Amino acid sequence: MRSDPPRPPGLFCHTYGSRLDAFDGLVRALTAWADEAGLAPQTLRDVVLILDELFSNIVIHGYRHDPDGEIRVEAAVADQQVHVTLTDHAPLFNPLLVPEPDTTLPLEARPIGGLGLLFVRRTADELRYWSVEPNAPGPANRLRFTKFL
């Protein structure tokens, strides 16, 4: 984990390598931040579960396990909401355009995948995706989810 330049109090901002084992460090840092910010344990649990799905999708599907990628995670509490933004430089991909899986089909008839994003959609109160053109290292994916407090 690399700490980024200092931010105003109350903001969480860290960058992690694109490795699944980096997630444990993210959870520890986020938990300490959430305690300071006064987040309820249930809200933190939901945020961590959503982050687990999104972080692992970026590592596995975005960077395809390339450990040299980076995932920036920012979080803030404002107006009775917690906002969490993930930024990565994997190939551009909008997960909100992925159709929801048909959960009425029998298990053996369902294609593999898609349930994690369905969980994210149903657990987050708001989801937003956009691509950005930062100075380096090129275009970036940015996904923000919100949980109401």
Kindly give the interhelix angle for 41-57 and 115-123, rounded to the nearest 10 degrees.
Answer: 150
| Span 48-75, pLDDT tens digits | 999 999 999 999 999 999 999 999 999 9
Question: For residues 41-50, b (16+ Cβ closer than 10 Å) or e, as one string?
Answer: eebbebbbeb
Over 60: is that where the pLDDT of 9 sits? Answer: no
Tell me, yes or no, if the pTM score tops 0.95.
no
Are 39 and 77 spatial neighbours (Cβ–Cβ below 8 Å)?
yes
Let me know: does 51 contact 30? Beta carbons within 8 Å. Answer: yes
Q: Which residue's entry shows tokens 């006064």?
A: 38
Position 26 pLDDT exceeds 50: yes
Query: pLDDT tens, 92-119?
Result: 999 999 888 777 778 777 777 678 898 9
**Partner residues linked to 145 by β-bridges:** 84, 127
Domains and CATH numbers, the chain: 2-148 (3.30.565.10)
Whether the per-residue pLDDT at 6 is higher than 50: the answer is no
